[in-house]
Amino acid sequence: MKEKMKGGKQMLKYPIYLDSSATTRVDPRVAEKMIPYLVEIYGNPASNSHTLGWEAETAVETAREEVALLINADPREIVWTSGATESDNLALKGAAAFYSGRGRHIVTVKTEHKAILDTCRDLERHGYEVTYLDVLPNGLVDLENFKKALRPDTVLASVMLVNNEIGVIQPVEEIGEICREKGIVFHVDAAQAAGKVGIDLSMLKADLVSLSAHKIYGPKGIGALFIRRKPRVRIEAQMHGGGHERGFRSGTLPTHQIVGMGEAFRLARMEMADENRHIRALRDKLLKGIADIPDVYVNGDLEHRVPHNLNVSFAYVEGESMLMSLKNLAVSSGSACTSASLEPSYVLRALGRDDELAHSSIRFTLGRFNTEEEIDYAVKELREKIGKLRDMSPLWEMVQSGVDLSRVQWAAH
């Protein structure tokens, strides 16, 4: 049954949601599947003494198969977690601990998600050494640079498949080959990738892959870690208890969440091709609608990128005030001002964007439920508000009168 909210002549509902990389609305078809597992089939999937337990267990295993199918893996390679952050922690800490006898050096990238970077910082406090690689100006990892970072004591590498801020697709196939050849465990954070790009783990030489449900219309609070069986990769559990998930991750399985993730992954498998066409058309429309505004820069490579993401810097306009003026659009700023740190995005900085442009960025992330009418509205709003804020911007005024901002002596504060 198709219940998609696309098309139609319905009234626009505000705010227009263009923040799908933060999270997505649960697809009503997913929610519908979950509910019976809250109020009817509420048994513990680990209870093997009655039908409520058996039925819950069957649902969990069906969902496991669905998750495995989307990434072409064996269901026995899927371990449920509470989300991609936990998966990242389990993968990195678990593999680092298991292989610590072989070496204590880890390689990752400066533009990874905080769940990777902060876990690596923790590992550093526990005696590991971590190399954080720079990226090219387009946001991609330089393979030669990656190779050069590897040492005899490198045991683990972690590179995300799709970047959460700029949507670029990293060359994980090539990195996987390099790692496999050298016997280095390769972890891939695919939280932003599943359901957006094809993932075939019979080809991709990743040993550990983090997955999340809520980025692709499933519920929050559930994710999974793929742990390769052939060749077998080993990790040490980080959560101890009843020995669930073959000892990799103890804790009672949340059946309804798992069912939701399974259904979300099934829908992604069935609809990904059509959906990507729809989303790409909307993204291109959005880009075209703002491309002729002067001094607008797309951050990150446009070719090696998921169609869902458009990250743009509007020069001479500050990101937070931009968000404030776009109150009918739910978007996020690359500038983390809103999280009180007042630091511009570390991802954009890693691309070599100067601070001013990093402060001026907005991330639009599109999803299944967006419509053409919504994009038309967003374009209209953007054009109007950028104009208003630039009229108010001393930087814009200076540039218009021919001042080279890079030569101005600013009074830093």
Report, as residue numbers or ranges, the catalytic residues: 337
Rounded Cα gap, residues 107 and 272, in angstroms: 32
Q: Which of 391, 402, 404, 407 binds other proteins (CB under 8 A)?
A: 391
Q: Which of 114, 324, 384, 400 binds other proteins (CB under 8 A)?
A: 324
Q: Does 316 bind other proteins (CB under 8 A)?
A: yes
Report the nearest approach of other proteins to the CB of residue 114 (Å): 19
Q: Does 273 bind other proteins (CB under 8 A)?
A: no
Q: Toward other proteins, which CB reaches closer, 85 or 360? A: 360
Q: Does 412 bind other proteins (CB under 8 A)?
A: yes
Asked if residues 130 and 108 have their Cβ atoms less than 8 Å apart, the reply is yes
Q: Which of these ranges, 73-81, 216-224, 247-255, 334-342, lies near other proteins under the rule CB under 8 A?
A: 334-342
Q: Toward other proteins, which CB reaches closer, 37 or 396? A: 396
Report the nearest approach of other proteins to the CB of residue 316 (Å): 6
Rounded Cα gap, residues 321 and 387, in angstroms: 13
Q: Toward other proteins, which CB reaches closer, 305 or 363? A: 363
Q: Does 393 bind other proteins (CB under 8 A)?
A: yes
Q: Does 338 bind other proteins (CB under 8 A)?
A: yes
Q: Does 72 bind other proteins (CB under 8 A)?
A: no
Rounded Cα gap, residues 384 and 381, in angstroms: 5
Q: Does 394 bind other proteins (CB under 8 A)?
A: yes
Q: Which of 32, 129, 354, 381 binds other proteins (CB under 8 A)?
A: 354
Asked if residues 320 and 333 have their Cβ atoms less than 8 Å apart, the reply is yes
Asked if residues 224 and 258 have their Cβ atoms less than 8 Å apart, the reply is no
Asked if residues 263 and 213 have their Cβ atoms less than 8 Å apart, the reply is no
Q: Does 410 bind other proteins (CB under 8 A)?
A: yes
Report the nearest approach of other proteins to the CB of residue 24 (Å): 23
Q: Toward other proteins, which CB reaches closer, 212 or 311? A: 311
Taking the CB of residue 339, how many other CB atoms lie within 10 A of it? Answer: 9
Report the nearest approach of other proteins to the CB of residue 334 (Å): 12
Q: Does 295 bind other proteins (CB under 8 A)?
A: no
Rounded Cα gap, residues 236 and 93, in angstroms: 8
Q: Which of 359, 363, 368, 385 binds other proteins (CB under 8 A)?
A: 359
Rounded Cα gap, residues 125 and 137, in angstroms: 30
Q: Does 1 bind other proteins (CB under 8 A)?
A: no
Rounded Cα gap, residues 301 and 303, in angstroms: 6
Give the angle subtended at the CA of 232 by the CAs of 231 and 237, to the nearest 5°: 155
HSE value, Cβ hemisphere, 13 Å, CA-based, for 390: 19
Q: Toward other proteins, which CB reaches closer, 320 or 376? A: 320
Q: Any idea which residue has 């630039």 for tokens?
A: 390
Q: Does 139 bind other proteins (CB under 8 A)?
A: no
DSSP H/E element including 78: strand 78-81
Q: Does 392 bind other proteins (CB under 8 A)?
A: yes
DSSP H/E element including 312: strand 309-314
Residues 6 or more apart whose CB falls under 8 angstroms from that of 96 comprise 104, 106, 123, 128, 155, 156
DSSP-derived secondary structure for 121-143: HHHHHTT-EEEEE---TTSPPPH
Report the nearest approach of other proteins to the CB of residue 75 (Å): 44
Q: Which residues bind other proteins (CB under 8 A)?
A: 316-318, 320-321, 324-325, 335, 337-338, 340, 342, 344, 354-356, 359, 391-397, 405, 410-413
